[in-house]
């Protein structure tokens, strides 16, 4: 063999080794990408299951919300509060007033009748912001008032 043939054989061998190494590297990269794709597919399945759970919970809560609104429209909710203001009479309408991050029952003379408990704050805010309502004194005793809250059907 000539010197040129030897040189050409070495170059071909080096090139061949280089390409084999490159193929091995690409195979490793391919395996890494396939593993990553598999993990992402597993995550996608888990997220889709969680999404379905959240959708079902949302539907359930929405149905409960609709039923509660219907109860408020048809039957109302009764509050029993202390009677501290003497100007309140049976069949008077009261309103909710938002003062210093609290809701209060207020009479027609704009006097505070009673503070609404904090546990009702979000529900009252939602009703006040989204519906017309009636807050009626249905019974007056010496020490207590009975109020009925109803959502008014809009026509």
Q: Read off φ and ψ for residue 100, nearest 5 degrees.
A: 50, 50
Cβ neighbors of 147 (< 8 A, separation 6 or more) are 78, 79, 80, 81, 94, 105, 135, 136, 137, 138
pLDDT score of 139 = 93
pLDDT score of 1 = 66
pLDDT score of 154 = 67
pLDDT score of 88 = 87
DSSP secondary structure code for residue 91 in this structure = T
Query: Cα(140)–Cα(144) distance, rounded to whole angstroms?
Result: 6
| Total count of residues recorded for the chain | 155
pLDDT score of 155 = 54
Whether the Cβ atoms of residue 98 and residue 121 lie closer than 8 Å to each other: no
Whether the Cβ atoms of residue 100 and residue 121 lie closer than 8 Å to each other: no
pLDDT score of 84 = 81
Residue whose C-alpha is closest to residue 147's, from 103, 81, 73: 81
Cβ neighbors of 103 (< 8 A, separation 6 or more) are 96, 97, 115, 116, 120, 121, 124, 125, 128
Residues lower than pLDDT 70 in the chain: 1, 154-155
């Amino acid at each position: 063999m000539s010197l040129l043939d030897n040189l050409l054989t070495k170059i071909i061998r080096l090139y061949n080794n280089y390409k084999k190494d490159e193929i091995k590297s690409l195979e490793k990269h391919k395996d890494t990408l396939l593993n990553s794709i598999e993990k992402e597919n597993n995550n996608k399945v888990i997220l889709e299951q969680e999404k379905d759970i959240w959708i079902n919970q949302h539907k359930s809560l929405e149905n409960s919300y609709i039923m509660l609104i219907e109860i408020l429209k048809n039957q109302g909710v009764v509050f029993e509060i202390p009677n501290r203001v003497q100007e309140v009479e049976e069949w008077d309408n009261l309103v909710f007033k938002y003062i210093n991050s609290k809701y209060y029952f207020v009479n027609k003379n704009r006097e505070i009748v009673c503070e609404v408990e904090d546990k009702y704050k979000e529900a009252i805010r939602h009703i006040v912001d989204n519906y017309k309502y009636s807050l009626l004194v249905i019974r007056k005793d010496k020490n207590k008032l009975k109020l009925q809250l109803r959502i008014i059907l809009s026509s």
